[in-house]
């Protein structure tokens, strides 16, 4: 691919003609911000944290264009991806083989894997797992635009709550501006309800009316609205179910197993554990928190995710799955295999073999074409551009490199729009933006049977076209919703 091809193209079709007149913009931004705050598109501030105060979540004023056919493709493939993840999570040999070098050098993955080994040898008290997954995509512009998978998240897949509000903000803005006929191009988004129904289904399978759903949360939760939306939706759907929130440290201090390995904490029996924490090393302050994770895995509670699902969602496993012929083992039909292969982009291991050496050479020669990724979640960990060379030079002769993967850089087209940020006085300017679509899925089952498999809804995150990453929670990206269009030029 020549360098010119790597330059971003613009999607010419936007939902309305921009720019907006200054007076119109002034009024609609003010209104949209208040609408967003009043409907929960908000977070706790990282810079001026106050428990009783919420700050606006960054959002895009008007929905960003996305080709309808690619959106529908992403939606349609989700049950297949759910099934794939479920089967991979239950394939001990594949997980072990894929992660064997990584766990030699990456302590975090090793700690997770050690827990997995213990559960595997003891036999799990609870054979049922709940997966609430989110598969993330960007459009890749080569000859035309097609979705390529960035990653699939199997733990703490966030923004199902606030994401569901975003479509309403964008609809409100479009209709305030008088574009009623455009509203039909914003697909409904029932992600929040779907995610909560998944948790409720797992709670029903646990079959103890007094048992609770426990949200495992960070010591300080900034993305509180998104989490509470889930809690309140569960309450709305079934008010008999109590939700409690606990940190890993609280579990370490207060939880124990009952005679049938029930997870007991502060007088409650836990039916389902929904992890919104535990996916990064900083969440485990000491061995105590790791012991808490093991205790939960040993328990009868249904985990979302259980340890093998967590491992199946690692970047190293994603890369191993993209190896030729690997999908054949998990997916039944040639059509399913072809459809998943189509969304994969090039993924390369950095193992000490001929493939790894070749990947290192490619990345050193053309670093702008790749992204270098460690085994981490939560954004801000990847390496881009010339930094790839520096990082590889330092580690290419050390075992550390086997904990990283190399991925083809997806080259998304840009759109134009207004990004609305908190504490940002003055009127927003039109900026170049790129979007990442997430599709949510739920799967429940054990090693032998899949009991529940659904596509649930979506979320769109949009960032400046110049930034490499777009984490909303860390303040770089903004929440958005798709405006489906037929053609793109």
The residues that touch ligand ADP, with contacts defined as CB under 6 A, are: 136, 150-151, 371, 373, 377-379, 381-382, 407, 409-410, 436, 469-470
Q: Least separation, in Å, of the C-beta of 318 and ligand ADP?
A: 8
Active site residue 158: yes
Residue closer to ligand ADP by CB (options 297, 436) is 436
Residue closer to ligand ADP by CB (options 441, 445) is 441
Q: State the Cα–Cα distance between residues 65 and 306, nearest whole angstrom.
A: 36
Q: Least separation, in Å, of the C-beta of 112 and ligand ADP?
A: 15
Active site residue 73: no
With a CB cutoff of 8 Å and minimum separation 6, the contacts of 128 are: 202, 205, 302, 444, 445, 446, 451
User: CB count, 10 Å around CB of 295?
Assistant: 18
Q: Least separation, in Å, of the C-beta of 476 and ligand ADP?
A: 9
Active site residue 461: yes
CA-wise closest residue to 202 among 246, 234, 158, 160: 234
Active site residue 151: yes
Residue closer to ligand ADP by CB (options 111, 381) is 381
Q: CA end-to-end span of the chain, whole Å? A: 20
Q: Least separation, in Å, of the C-beta of 464 and ligand ADP?
A: 11
Whether 44 contacts 407, CB under 8 Å: no
Residue closer to ligand ADP by CB (options 401, 463) is 463
Q: Least separation, in Å, of the C-beta of 381 and ligand ADP?
A: 5
Options 158, 185, 306, 435, the catalytic residue: 158
CA-wise closest residue to 178 among 400, 21, 364: 21
Sheet holding 405-408, edge to edge: 347-349, 405-408, 370-373, 383-384
Residue closer to ligand ADP by CB (options 154, 185) is 154
Options 315, 369, 376, 401, the catalytic residue: 315
CA-wise closest residue to 463 among 59, 66, 57, 23: 59
User: CB count, 10 Å around CB of 442?
Assistant: 25
Q: Interior CA angle at 259 toward 254 and 262, to 5°?
A: 55
Strands 415-420 and 430-445: antiparallel
Residue closer to ligand ADP by CB (options 187, 470) is 470
Options 111, 117, 201, 378, the catalytic residue: 378
> In 3-state terms, the chain is what percent helix, strand and coil (to 5)?
40, 25, 35
Residue closer to ligand ADP by CB (options 238, 468) is 468
Q: Least separation, in Å, of the C-beta of 264 and ligand ADP?
A: 33
User: What SS3 state is found at 192?
Assistant: helix
Options 461, 463, 470, 477, the catalytic residue: 461
Q: Least separation, in Å, of the C-beta of 409 and ligand ADP?
A: 4
Q: Which residue is nearest to ligand ADP (CB)?
A: 410
Active site residue 315: yes
Options 27, 117, 176, 377, the catalytic residue: 377
CA-wise closest residue to 307 among 291, 321, 296, 318: 296
DSSP for 345-356 reads --EEE--SSHHH
Q: Which of the residues are catalytic?
A: 134, 151, 153, 158, 315, 373, 377-378, 461
């Amino acid at each position: 691919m020549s360098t010119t091809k790597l330059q971003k193209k613009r999607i010419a079709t936007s939902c309305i003609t921009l720019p907006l007149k200054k007076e119109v913009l002034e009024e609609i931004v003010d209104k949209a911000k208040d609408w967003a705050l009043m409907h929960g598109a908000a977070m706790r501030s990282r810079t001026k944290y106050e428990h009783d105060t919420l700050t606006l979540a960054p959002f895009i004023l008007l929905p960003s264009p996305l080709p309808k056919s690619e959106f529908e493709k992403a939606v349609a493939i989700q049950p297949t991806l759910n099934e794939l993840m479920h089967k991979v999570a239950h394939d001990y040999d594949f997980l072990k083989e894929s992660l064997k070098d990584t766990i030699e050098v990456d302590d975090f993955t090793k700690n997770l894997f050690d827990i997995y080994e213990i559960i595997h040898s003891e036999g799990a008290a609870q054979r049922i797992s709940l997966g609430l997954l989110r598969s993330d995509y960007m459009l890749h512009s080569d000859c035309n635009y097609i979705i390529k998978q960035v990653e699939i998240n199997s733990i703490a897949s966030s923004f199902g709550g606030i994401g569901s509000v975003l479509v309403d903000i964008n609809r409100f803005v479009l209709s305030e501006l008088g574009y009623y006929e455009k509203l039909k191009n914003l697909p409904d988004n029932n992600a929040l309800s779907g995610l909560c129904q998944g948790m409720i289904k797992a709670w029903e399978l646990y079959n103890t009316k007094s048992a609770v759903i426990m949200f495992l949360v960070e010591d300080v939760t900034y993305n509180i609205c998104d989490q509470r939306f889930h809690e309140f939706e569960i309450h709305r759907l079934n008010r008999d179910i109590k939700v409690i929130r606990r940190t890993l440290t609280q579990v370490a201090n207060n939880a124990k197993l009952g005679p049938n390995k029930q997870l007991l904490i502060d007088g409650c029996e836990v039916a389902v554990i929904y992890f919104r924490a535990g996916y990064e090393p900083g969440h485990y302050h000491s061995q105590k928190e790791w012991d808490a994770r093991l205790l939960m895995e040993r328990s009868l509670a249904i985990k979302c995710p259980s340890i093998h699902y967590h491992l199946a969602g690692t970047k190293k496993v994603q890369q191993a799955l993209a190896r030729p012929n690997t999908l054949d083992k998990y997916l039944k039909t040639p059509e399913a295999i072809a459809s998943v292969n189509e969304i994969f982009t090039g993924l390369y291991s950095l193992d000490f073999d001929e493939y790894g050496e070749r990947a290192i050479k490619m990345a050193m020669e053309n670093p702008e074409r790749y992204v270098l990724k460690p085994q981490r979640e939560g954004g801000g960990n990847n390496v881009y551009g010339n930094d790839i060379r520096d990082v590889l030079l330092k580690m290419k002769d050390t075992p550390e490199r086997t904990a990283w993967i190399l991925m083809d850089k997806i080259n998304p087209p840009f759109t134009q729009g207004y990004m609305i940020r908190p504490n940002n006085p003055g009127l927003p300017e039109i900026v170049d933006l790129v979007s990442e679509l997430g599709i949510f899925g739920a799967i429940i089952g054990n090693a032998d049977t899949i009991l529940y498999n659904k596509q649930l809804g979506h979320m769109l995150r949009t960032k400046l076209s110049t930034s490499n990453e777009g984490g909303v929670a860390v303040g770089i990206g903004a929440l958005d919703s798709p405006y489906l269009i037929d053609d793109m030029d």
